[in-house]
Amino acid sequence: MANIKSAKKRILTSAKRAERNKSIRSEVKTSVKKVDAAIAAGDKAAAQAALQNLQGVMGRATAKGVYKKNTNARKISRMSKAVDKI
């Protein structure tokens, strides 16, 4: 454990942020799995609904700094392309 007060605070803060980022990433992964499942089932309506949800989840994750803007755009673009192929 650190001896300096600011270092102790950094440890606590970074742990809190890591926990938040982990839960947000988990939510994104769950949404991606739902889109993939709908694509595998060939259900275009469900896939589009899941994609719409994924866009919102990814947007919030990007706004909070968990993902970079281009990462968000790339993932959404790839998912949209996959849904359109159905």
- Where do the domains of the chain lie? 21-84
Question: Per-residue confidence at 2, pLDDT binned at 50, 70, 90?
Answer: confident
Quote the percentage of the chain above a pLDDT of 70.
Answer: 100
Residue 58: pLDDT over 80: yes
Q: Which two tokens stand for residue 15?
A: 């742990």
Q: Which two tokens stand for residue 83?
A: 């849904």
Q: For position 19, what pLDDT does the model report?
A: 96
State the CB neighbour count (10 A cutoff) for residue 72.
18
Residue 1: pLDDT over 80: no
pLDDT digits 0-9 by tens, 4-30 = 999 999 999 999 999 999 999 999 999
pLDDT digits 0-9 by tens, 29-48 = 999 999 999 999 988 999 99
Question: 12-40: string of b/e by CB count within 10 Å (b at 16+)?
Answer: eeeeeeeeeeeebeebbeebbebbeebbe
